[in-house]
Each structure stands twice: as C-alpha cells, then as structure tokens.
Structure 1
Amino acid sequence: MMRAVGTITLCGAFLLGASAPAVAAPKPKVQLKIVDAVKGGETKTVWLHCAPVGGTHPNARAACQLLEKVKGKPEQLNVSPNAVCTQEVQPHAVVIVGRWYGLAVKWAKVFTNGCQVKAALGAVLSI
C-alpha cells in the first residue's frame, strides 16, 4: 500500500513538472541584422546577437568584441587602418540595422571592394 502511494505521488509530481511552462532564454541586448550585397554577386545576411552572444553570424564573439569597442557604432570601426587594398572595383553595399542596448542602429555604406570592407569592419562582416 505504501509503495502504491509513493508511486502515485511520484507520477503526480512528474505530471505537474511536465506541465510547467518552459523557461525562455533571455532576449539578447544586441540584435543586429548585417547585410552584404555584392554588385553582380550574391547578397549575404546574418543576425548578430550580443549579451548573450549568438545569432547566425559565423564569428559572433569577435564581432561583438569589435562593436563593444566603438559602443555599437559601425561608422567608427576601422579595424585595419593601414591595409593595402588593390584598385579592384567590385562594390559591396553593407547595411547594419537593429538594436544596441536599446538604441537604434541604422548604418549603410558602399565600399569599392571586399578588401576595403574587411579593413573597415573586420570580423563584423566575416559572413
């Protein structure tokens, strides 16, 4: 009899636990959509989340660290200021929009080629 009561109690606890709502992951404090459109080529889009780090960005941790240094202002990035780039012309239109710790981010720039993009944005645009 005691064994039956214990089994019923255990089953009841299991059912109550199973019906409890799942705890949602915390919403990231930074959510940025990053788009790189190459003239005559493909357009790549990723999501970058920081605090906590995540999203679809392939190098999210490094990208978040770079943006932290400039307080989320992509226009202030200049990762490799002394980069030597060729005169190749293959325009890249880069757009970064979203939220940075509650502040709106809306930034866009056209670069002459991929080397200039990498020199300016580094890991932020390693997509």
Structure 2
Amino acid sequence: MIRALGTIALCGAFMLGASSPAVADRPKVQLKIVDAAKGGETSTAWLHCAPVGGTHPNAEEACRLLEAVGGKPARLNVTPDASCTREVKPHAVVVIGRWYGKAVHWAKVFGNDCEMKAATGAVLSL
C-alpha cells in the first residue's frame, strides 16, 4: 500500500513537471490593446512579443516600437512632426498586460485618429 502511494505521488510529480515547458513557452510580453472611437467601432487586439504573435495585425512593428521605449506606451512619439487636422473624433485607448514580468496599465484619449497614429504608430494601428 505504501509502495502504491509512493508510485502515485511520483507519477503526480512527473505530470506536474511535464507542464512546466508550457509555462516557459508563454510569451514574455502579453498586451491587450483597445481603441474605442467616439461614435464608431471598438477595435481590440492581443500583442505578444518574445516571441512575436497574437492577433495584432502588425505585431512585429508594434513590438519593435515598444521595445525602443522599454514597454512604456506613454513614451511613444513615432511621428512628432505629423500634420494632423483639428477634427474632433476622440479615440480612447487602453494598453494593459505584462511586459517582461512588469504590469502595464496605460490609457489615453487622443483628439482624433491622426493624433493617435502619430504618437503610437503601429502599436495602435488595429
């Protein structure tokens, strides 16, 4: 009986150990990105980096841009000299998730689509 319990415990330990590689394969960056245009649609995408993936339409470029600012969306300023109109069509954006183990929580309202894309480039090009 004791031998059987030891065998069951050992099998359980091997089963738990077998699941460890799946955890190691998880992307080091997992961000949910949401863009809600006033009076328009809401777009959502998952961005994974290291390795690149998710549902983001331009994940590779978005990861590259975020890597350059240490994963801090507030530091993005992709096209600082963009000529945007004064059209008022606000976009509320949110980036939330994990960047190499650190929590990311960022939200901002841009006056229009042009201002949003000038600041964030591919990151918010959903």
Normalised to the residue count of structure 1, the TM-score between the two structures is 0.81
Q: Alpha-carbon deviations, 1:31-68, whole Å to 9, x = none?
A: 00000000000000000000000000000000000000
1:91 is aligned to 90
Name the CA distance, whole Å, in 1 between partners of 2:105 and 2:25: 24
Question: 2:33 & 2:96 partners in 1: Cα distance?
Answer: 7
Moved over 3 A (4+): 21-25
- AA of the residue aligned to 1:87: R
Q: Deviations over 1:61-108 (max 9, x none)?
A: 000000000000000000000000001000000000000000000000
Match of 2:109 in 1: 110
Alpha-carbon shift at residue 126 of structure 1 (Å): 1.1
Q: CA RMSD in A?
A: 1.4
| Separation of aligned partners in 2, 1:38 and 1:84 | 20
- Greater Rg, structure 1 or structure 2? 1
Equivalence for 2:34:
35
Query: 1:58 — aligned with what?
Result: 57
Provide the residue aligned with 1:71 in structure 2.
Answer: 70
Quote the residue 1:122 is aligned against. 121
SS of residue paired to 1:64: helix
Alignment partners' CA distance in 2, 1:36 and 1:26: 28
* Matched pairs, number: 107
Aligned-residue identity in percent: 72
Q: How far apart, in 1, do the equivalents of 2:47 and 2:125 lie?
A: 11
Calculate the TM-score normalised by the size of structure 2: 0.82
Question: Could you tell me how far apart the structure 1 residues matched to 2:74 and 2:86 are?
Answer: 22
